[in-house]
Every structure is written in C-alpha cells, then in structure tokens.
Amino acid sequence: MLTMASLADVAHGIFMLQNDAANLICQKLLRIPHPSFDAMNGVLAAHLASSFLAVDDGSACRSGRTLDPLREICERLCQHPAYKLLDIKMVPLMPHRSKKFSTHSWTGIVKHLHQMQVANAASEEGIDWDISLTTDHGRTLNRAYDKTGTLISNSKAMLQTLAITMDKAYDMFSHGAYLHQYERFGVDRDFFQEAFLRIDQITQNYSSL
C-alpha cells in the first residue's frame, strides 16, 4: 500500500503483482503444495518478463504497434494520470514435467486470456466461455513453452485488487502492526493516513469508470 501510494504521483504506470495470486498459481497450476517465496517470485518474474517481450517486425507494421514494449504500454494503457494500475495475466502455466507433453495454439491462448479478463481471474482454471480474438505473434519467445500469451490491462477490474490490499492495510494499521518499526525510519501515523487518502482517491477514480 505504501509503495503504491508513493509511486502513484511519479510513475507512468504501476504493475500490480499479488503474492496471493502467485501462491494460488503455484498450488493449482504448478502443483507446488507449499510454495516458497522463490517459487512465487518466479511466477511474478515470469509475468513481468513476458510483458516486455517485443512483437515481430511484420506483425508490428500491420497493427501499427511499436517495437518498444515499455513505451507501448505507457502510450496505450497509461495515458490518463488518474489511471495507472496495470494487471498482468499469462498463459500457459504448468508443472515443468508437463511442458514437453503439451502443445498450444494462438487461438486457444487468446481465448483463455480473454476468459480470465472477463472473470477477473489470476489463472485459467475453471473458466469457460466461448470467444475468439486475433493476436500478434511474439518475436522473442518464452523458451519454456512453444507459445506464450500475456494480457496487460488497465480497467475497473483493478478495484478487486485495491479492495483486498486496502482491507489488509487498514486491518494491520488499526491493530498497530509494525508501526513502531516504521516510526524508527520516519514513517509515522500521519504518513500512513496520507497514503490511505491517496489510495482512496485512486479507488474512487476506478469506481467512476
């Protein structure tokens, strides 16, 4: 919460990565019963890395896209200063032992990504809608899979993440959790109150969409 509040005024965009979502992916998709921080960080790192893969030259020319992924994300998704929160969804994700037995199509990957976006789900498990979309093929591959798809969005769906984050932050703050440690480094109650106000404003912005 403090990180989000501090970055909101200075960053072009903020990727919202959740430990709870990474933990769920590790357990449900990667079949890791008790995920370590290294395992969860690996999932989050894969999501970030896949966001910065460039599309191929021919596909970019046909669709009018830039070959600079970071610039494209800022220009397409973060044009308004009131809306800077970015969500990442990625498919496929599966245990290492299953990868060599799996094959994927671009149509199937895009279908699952769209399903996840509609349901605001961190993973594709248990989601089923019938849709079809077009996509651009990546130039730089995620070598762990024959095909990988990533969806980056900035939408009202971020309200769920904001609600979860703020509920936890308010609960910890009301119980004084770790406040004495923060105060040792100049982060007092007034600092927290100001951060809460900033995030409340962001929440109102997304609620108005």
Closest CA to 46 of 58, 38, 56, 34: 38
In whole angstroms, give the CA distance from residue 44 to residue 59.
27
Tell whether the model's pLDDT for residue 186 goes beyond 90.
Answer: yes
Give the pLDDT band (50/70/90) at residue 140: very low
Mean pLDDT of all residues in 160-188: 94
Q: Find the mean pLDDT for residues 181-205.
A: 96
Query: Which residue blocks in 90-157 are alpha helix, DSSP H?
Result: 96-99, 106-119
Average pLDDT over every residue of 168-190: 94
Q: Between these two residues, 100 and 118, which has the higher pLDDT value? A: 118
Q: What is the CA radius of gyration of the chain?
A: 19
In this structure, of 54-58, 67-71, 89-93, 161-165, the range with the lowest mean pLDDT score is 54-58
- The structural domains of the chain, ordered by start, are 12-155 (no CATH), 161-207 (1.10.287)
Q: Measure the CA–CA gap between 35 and 56, rounded to whole angstroms.
A: 35
**At residue 177, does pLDDT exceed 80?**
yes
What gap in Å lies between CA 196 and CA 98, rounded to an integer? 44
